[in-house]
Amino acid sequence: MKKICSIVLAVVMASAMAACSDAKTISSSGTSGASGGTTTTAAQSQDGGNGESSADGNGQVDLTIDTTGNFVFAYEGVDILLGADPDAVLEGLGDPKSYLEVPSCAHDGTDHVYTYTNMVLTVYIPTGSDKGYISDVLVTSDLVSTPEGLEIGMSADDAREKYGDPDKDDDVSFVYTRGTSQLLITLSAGSIISIEYMIP
């Protein structure tokens, strides 16, 4: 159990610090919510490589995250919708065990990492904005399961039974896609060692 937690926490830190290519500048232009699905909208500045914007006229294009159909993870009675506004979720979860801010490797902004007893939740906030969206949920313990009943320590066959055939798979991972979100299941010797939801 301690060994699995150590591996998962190492994966969290490696993911947070990993270098990503094609970073984009994103600034928030608003968030709206509705039951059963939300849309998170931001303005994305694109640089054509020569210091000039490649977008139409004003240097910005709309970036919209439609959360309809996205994965939902339930933790201690709180539904966590990937891509949604984090305010109600963070309020429902209460104080985390720890909190960390790190530069986002995917965009120009900050990942706000909230660690709870059995999972880690990440909120991405673009530079120049005070609003963001839930970008990642990592299950860190076999004491909790997904809404479909999958737990760390179960087998690859259990994952297929509960979710069907993955959209992408190899010897060490299954990837399932719903809406604009993904579920990444990491395997070792046929057993699940990590369960992570994300907005890619």
Distance, in Å, from the CA atom of 88 to the CA atom of 102, rounded to the nearest integer, reads: 22
State residue 9's pLDDT score. Answer: 46
The answer to whether the CB of 67 falls within 8 A of the CB of 39 is yes
B/e letters for 76-88, b = 16+ CB within 10 Å, e = fewer, are eeeebbbbbbbee
> Which whole-number Å values give the CA distances from 40 to 27, 30, 61, 131, in the listed order?
12, 7, 14, 10
Q: What is the pLDDT of residue 118?
A: 97
Q: What mean pLDDT is predicted for residues 33-60?
A: 40
pTM of the predicted protein model: 0.73
Of the pLDDT bands very low, low, confident and very high (cuts 50, 70, 90), residue 106 is confident
Confidence of residue 64 (pLDDT cuts 50, 70, 90): low
> CA 178, CA 54: separation in Å to the nearest integer?
30
pLDDT at 28: 34
